[in-house]
Amino acid sequence: MSPAPPESHVPPPPSSRRTLSTERNFFAELVDDLTVRLEWLEQVIASVPDSGALGQLRGWAKALRELHASIGHVQAHLGDARFARLFAIEGSLAAFLSRLFAWCEEIAEDFEALAVKLRRNDPVLAVFSHRAVNESFAHFQELGQALRASLAAWRPATPDAHAAWQTFDADFEELFWAVEWLHMSLASQPGR
């Protein structure tokens, strides 16, 4: 009979810490984080006195909320086994969504900083560099092309999958439109 192992003084971590990250909780956590970020941003914007710049900021925040909603529409397909390969952590959809969530976080922080400046009545000379917006847009176009190629490769040609893929395609196009719309909004001149 072997001796009993010594008792540990450190209790085991809670069960939630023992689970490995899966595509489902990875994407869900990113959506939840962005939801919280947007709620916070809306509270900060609500504290800003009315001005023309506030109208522009509200328009940008609305475009970001629409992008968030379109991410949610794509995310809704996560539980469908027909799309499991698309949501693999190492896949091009995950790369696109991960970069998109990071960019949304950056933009939300920029919006919040702008709202704070407006609330304090600090001068705001330039908001977003056209060059930076154009580079970001080009990057998302590049990621999107890779994603479209992988979608074409993984799309089954069976009749029963046709309807599900039509819905996914519509949600996917909505996501691309929302990314483009936010970039165009950021590139537009204030007051337009």
The three-state DSSP-derived secondary structure of 48-78 is: CCCCHHHHHHHHHHHHHHHHHHHHHHHHCCC
User: Does residue 113 sit within a domain?
Assistant: yes
Q: What is the pLDDT of residue 175?
A: 95
What is the Cα 162 distance to its own chain's centre?
A: 27
- pLDDT for 17 equals 45
pLDDT at site 190: 52
Residue 18 falls inside a structural domain:
no
pLDDT at site 63 = 93
CA distance 121 to 101: 30
Residues of the chain falling short of pLDDT 50: 1-2, 4-13, 15-20, 191-192
Residue 8 domain-assigned (yes or no): no
Looking at residue 22, its pLDDT comes to 61
- pLDDT score at 87: 82
| Residue 46: strand, helix, or coil | helix
For 16-42, b/e burial (b = at least 16 CB within 10 A) is: eeeeeeebeeebeebbeebeebbeebe
Specify the pLDDT at position 10: 47
Q: What is the pLDDT of residue 18?
A: 40
Per the structure, how many domains does the chain have? 1
Evaluate whether residue 169 is within a structural domain: yes
Q: Is residue 7 part of a domain?
A: no
The reply to whether 10 falls in a domain is no
Q: What is the rounded CA–CA span in Å between residue 32 and residue 79?
A: 17
> Which pLDDT belongs to residue 146?
83
Tokens read off for 188? 């537009």
19 domain residue, yes or no:
no
Asked if the structure places residue 131 within a domain, the reply is yes
Residue 148 structural domain: 24-35+51-187
The whole-angstrom separation of Cα 167 and Cα 164 is 5
